Structure 1
């Protein structure tokens, strides 16, 4: 399963926009500088009281469909 490590920094307000459906996708940057877009629904698994801030591993199916997100470190 392909994966990519990304830095995600979103405030509580930005996360709320994603949660409420005002934003469908999240734009992040990988550790190697690539732009990565993934579904905002993935944030529901990782959002905290203050938003999201850290390095996460996104995993995809071989066909490119988002499958999982795991926190690597802050």
Structure 2
């Protein structure tokens, strides 16, 4: 299984775009400099009034299917 650590900074007004239908994915930077695109819905439980902020560990299976997203700080 592969794991990535992401630094996510997504203000609430941009997250709201998902509900308007104009955004379905989150593009974030890994700590190693790579950029990844993930379904925004995977981060729904981490939304606050400010948006989504913090460091997240994202786990994938051997077929690169998303398994889990965990907030680590």
Q: TM-score normalized by structure 2?
A: 0.90
Query: For residue 72 of structure 2, what is the aligned residue in structure 1?
Result: 72
Q: Aligned partners of 1:19, 1:67: CA distance in 2, in Å?
A: 23
**Which structure 2 segments of 5+ residues have no match?**
none
RMSD: 1.2
Runs of 4+ in 1 over 4 A off after TM superposition: none
Query: For residue 12 of structure 1, what is the aligned residue in structure 2?
Result: 12
Q: TM-score normalized by structure 1?
A: 0.88
Deviation at 1:15, TM superposition (A): 1.0
Residues 33-65 of structure 1 show CA distances to partners (whole Å, capped at 9, x for unaligned) of 001111111121211111011110011111011
